[in-house]
Structure 1
Amino acid sequence: MGIRPTKEQFNRQLEQMAGTLRNEMIEGRYALGEYLPTERTLMERFRMSNNAVRTALETLVREGWIEKVPRIGNRVAAGRPPVKLVLARNVVAQRNLELSGLLDNFHRQFPWISVETHGIDGQGNTGDADLVLADNYQFQRMVEDGAIKKLEPLTGREDMYPGLARQFAVEGSLYMRPVVFSPIVLCYNKAHFRECGLMEPDGSWTWDNLLGCAEKLSDGKGRYGFSFHAQDTNRWPLFLLQSGERFEWNAGQLNDLRGTRLLESMKVYKRIIHNRKAFPLFLSESNGDILQMFEEGKLSMILNTYMGLNLWKHANLEYDVAPVPFIYEPRTLVIVLGIGISAKSAHKEEARLLADYFVSAGAQNYIYEHTLSIPSTQLPTYSPAASTSVGINRPERYALFREMMFSYRTHSDLGIPVMSLPKIFQQLKAYLADMIDENELCDRIRGALSGETRAGASEAGD
């Protein structure tokens, strides 16, 4: 008796067979109205069971490539009328997914479907889009705005990394499928460390270790040891998450922050960006400004994401990644990009084909081979050599994200609606500028957040 394939192997065989037949129909090997080879012939060709062959053929029927004629066979379907889908996506989706290439591949598989993309506006509106690509922070905003009903419930996949789908789930229903993800990591210039005779960062580093090293890396000639875009919503909340605490309420009033780890984490954040021996007074307007300074060798260490690494994928830059330093225990912020289908789409069948495609083995491998983003499905290997064919500069410790998964947290782990984060930062700005002290900071945050209960955070998908 042969060894029965695992579910993952079975699904891969199905996709390989369906993909091969799909390509052969595109290339004209089977003309419109012509019958495919018999199921027995296909069993011998692909070395698959009768059940597996029928399952793959059913996929092609569902996709509209063939039609099943009872007691006769499977016939190549007549041409389908063209359909245009509109995909709303955030501004960095092209870079993080190599989106144009992905959509070209999708069109080759489904030539009657074209995809037009447009951006999501500053309020998170997606217009009349059939599908939306958004991150988990944007999704939480949709939930809190009551816009979740604009998305169609989806089915999950078992081959995704644990915890990712939860970021797009509300009351047991999944509304977006994770496509790629990334933790916040520490990027460092290997040549700078070698030049200064310093050991490279590792998972034992606290922020004090980082500052001590950053001061030694600063050369007094325009190079600084450490920086990050301090205002970014995917950077400063990292320090709150490292407190290990949540915002708590009592009778609609935020509990006093004095004496809490949350306050201590804000003090650490301030101490870092006020250290002029390590951290420059650089008025960055975006993470892109920080990434540019790192590439130019003006910064030795920065906070970044794997998606942010895509700006350097063809750069002649000797760098690597390490876990972010910690305060009380290792914790980092994870960002997940997902795809969802609009409940109002007039082309839900075709939209579902595109949503399925983004998490298919073919698309996920394409993302891995052409970007530095982390695919949401668990691919067999993550080797730096895997992407040499397209000239990508992949850091040696790329696979580090797997060892960090225990430390992943999201904005919602703070126990507040994500819409409250700008209110907190508004008060933090005055504290960082020494315009208010810690006592006034606590009072101001309490006043700004009072009335926003933990229930609000629960509704946000916590």
Structure 2
Amino acid sequence: MQAKPSRTTFRNRLDEMITALRDDIVTGRLKSGEFIPSLMQLSKQFQLSINSVQKGLDQLAAESLIERIPRVGIRVKDSTRHSTVSLSFGYYPSLMEDVDLQHLIAAFQEEHPHIRIQPVPLQYENYYDVTSNYLYNEMLDVLTINHINFNQYEDRHTDIREVFEPIKPAAGIYPYLSPPFMRDKTQYVQPIVFSPVILCYNQQHFEQRQADEPPLEWTWQEFMACLDRLGRDESRLAFYFYPATLNRWPIFLLQSGVEFKRNKTGKMNLAAPQIMDSIQTCNELIQRQNMFQILLSENDVNVEELFSQQRISVMMTTYFNMNRLRRASFPFDIAPLPYVHTPKTLLITIGMAINRRSKQKAAAQVFIDYLTSYRSQLHIRKTTYSIPALQRAAEWHGEELGYRPSRYNIYRDISHTYALLSDLNLNPHEIEELLNAMNMYWMGMENKEATLSRLATI
């Protein structure tokens, strides 16, 4: 015999019905003067009795959202009070180019005139400090967030539910994108776009030096032999990357093959030989770079600028940053990262989260649904190099609007190598200590033995 549904279950269904109808009215999906489904239809859809449906509609009528027309039905009330919703949207400025965000916002507002998007740019630097203030003071309703920033919130809050509203997961998203944003089977961030860290190379430079095209799997030692083939040229560097960012140096540690697990006392062996191999490999790549060029390039954007000027033959980058190359006058292509002991690369996912304190959660969810729709995701695929989170859109085949690397779909072949910064299992203080130790070694201020000793104390 089946257990009788509890009163809580009925209350949840009733709340679901009220919320769904309210959201449809406020966001404009149900327009003024339009009739809502009948009592019988609502009863069947939400598995409620007619009396329960009536009670829910009484609440919406009390909010001046609907009105009963005798012997006709119930329609949305014509009221300017709920005609427009203002949605404060915090975004990474790079997304203006990386997903053609301005176009997507304009298209959304044309389709949803009841929701006005108020964009608020958010810098990567001091992201947590700025956004936490905005969220707490209800200055943001919805915002873009990556996995690293999401972990910052987890590190500083005992309960992520105090910050972000649970998200209604979108269907058809690549399965490996959502789990990093889930806690206790609840999702808090909806992935929009993603990218692994990859290599990008100038095909003309390879042809001029008669160097083979990069393979799908190779070691850093094999890569450095390829760089030797490219030769030295005063006018350009064979390879360049900016190591001191969280999207670069951790890759070498992840490629060590070490399982970053703590023992019973909470300690981790960061002085393992494989980890030192990774640090030395990174150091060898750094030493191959001209110091003057390093001073010229203070961040990843400038790396792409140097590459577009053909002053670099190969660079470590992402699909996002390749958007800076759309006006390049030469053919370029991409390759997977070489590895130290184990093939690994960082997965960078950018998604959307809703402020738990927001009074416009329904409109925020509508905006997120729009950005993950096939229409929006296909626009990202066609007009940018960024990879849409929606698999169907990402794997679209058709006539390209402009130049696209022939190996664009290589991200599918290397998905088994995707890793996250959180896989290092280190807290922010430990990460800072680790980077300091590596910097001392890379700058030649400490030798291998001193570095191992320092690593053992972390």
TM-score of the pair, normalised by structure 2: 0.78
Letter in 1 for 2:449: N
Aligned-residue offset at 1:302: 0.6
Q: How does 1:258-277 map to 2 (within 5 A)?
A: 258-275=271-288
The residue number in structure 2 matching 1:287 is 300
What percent of counterpart residues are identical? Answer: 27
The amino acid that maps onto 2:294 is: F
User: Is the contact between residue 159 and residue 377 of structure 1 (CA under 8 Å) also seen in structure 2?
Assistant: yes
Q: Give 1:303-452 correspondences, 5 Å limit.
A: 303-379=316-392, 382=395, 385-388=398-401, 392-418=402-428, 420-447=430-457, 449=458
Is the contact made by 1:226 and 1:299 (CA closer than 8 Å) also made in structure 2?
yes
Per-residue CA distance 1:336-361 (angstroms, 9 max, x = gap)? 00101000001111111112212111
Secondary structure in 1 aligned to 2:228? helix
SS of structure 2 residue aligned to 1:249: coil
> Residue 374 of structure 2 contacts residue 393 of structure 2 at CA under 8 Å; is this kept in 1?
no
Query: Which region of structure 1 is more displaced relative to structure 2, 80-89 or 173-182?
Result: 80-89
- Are residue 184 (structure 1) and residue 197 (structure 2) matched? yes
Q: For residues 210 and 67 of structure 1, what CA distance do their matches in structure 2 show?
A: 70
State the AA in 2 paired with 1:263: M
Q: Find out whether 1:139 has 2:150 as its counterpart.
A: yes
1:439: Cα distance to partner? 2.5
CA distance in 1, matches of 2:229, 2:395: 33
Deviations 1:2-47 (A, max 9, x none): xxxxxxxxxxxxxxxxxxxxxxx99xxx9963789xxxxxxxxxxx
1:216 and 1:113 map into 2 onto residues whose CA distance is 57
Q: In 2, distance between residues paired with 1:136 and 1:424?
A: 20
User: Does residue 96 in structure 1 map to residue 98 in structure 2?
Assistant: yes
- Structure 1, 141-150 or 330-339: larger mean CA deviation: 141-150
Matched, 1:119 2:121: yes
Determine the C-alpha separation between the residues in 1 that align with 2:70 and 2:187.
36
d(CA) in 2 for partners of 1:301 and 1:280?
17
Equivalent of 2:212 in 175, 184, 199: 199
Residue 141 of structure 2 is matched in structure 1 by 130
Contact 2:170 2:369 in 1 (8 A): no
CA deviations on 1:279-306 (whole Å, 9 max, x unpaired) are 9752221001111111111111111111
Question: Which deviations, in whole Å up to 9, do the C-alpha atoms of 1:408-454 show, x marking residues without a partner?
Answer: 1111111223553233112211110110122322332343x4xxxxx
RMSD: 3.2
CA distance in 2, matches of 1:227, 1:272: 8
* C-alpha separation in 2, matches of 1:196 and 1:301: 13
Alignment of 1:41-56 (within 5 A): none
Amino acid at match of 1:349: A
Residue identity matched to 2:146 = D
Query: 2-side partners of 1:67 and 1:180: how far apart?
Result: 42
Distance in 1, matches of 2:75 and 2:237, equals: 66
Q: CA deviation at 1:107?
A: 0.5
**How far did 1:72 drift?**
5.8
Aligned CA distance change for structure 1 residues 172 and 68 (closer, same or farther; 3 Å):
farther
**Structure 1 CA distance for aligned equivalents of residues 320 and 394 of structure 2:** 19
Residue 218 (structure 1) shift: 3.6
Shift of 1:81: 2.5
Q: Does 1:244 align with 2:254?
A: no
CA distance in 2, matches of 1:262, 1:256: 9
CA distance in 2: counterparts of 1:341 and 1:123, whole angstroms: 16
Long gaps (5+) in structure 2: 1-27, 37-44, 46-59
Q: Distance in 2 between matches of 1:339 and 1:380?
A: 18
State the 1:90 CA deviation. 2.3
CA distance in 2, matches of 1:76, 1:297: 60
Asked if the contact 1:217–1:224 (Cα under 8 Å) also holds between the matched residues in 2, the reply is: no
In structure 1, stretches of 5+ residues that fail to align are: 1-24, 37-50, 52-61, 450-462
TM-aligned CA distance change 1:67 to 1:441, over 3 Å: farther
Alignment partners' CA distance in 2, 1:437 and 1:334: 32
For residues 68 and 329 of structure 1, what CA distance do their matches in structure 2 show? 66
Work out whether 1:172 is the aligned partner of 2:185: yes
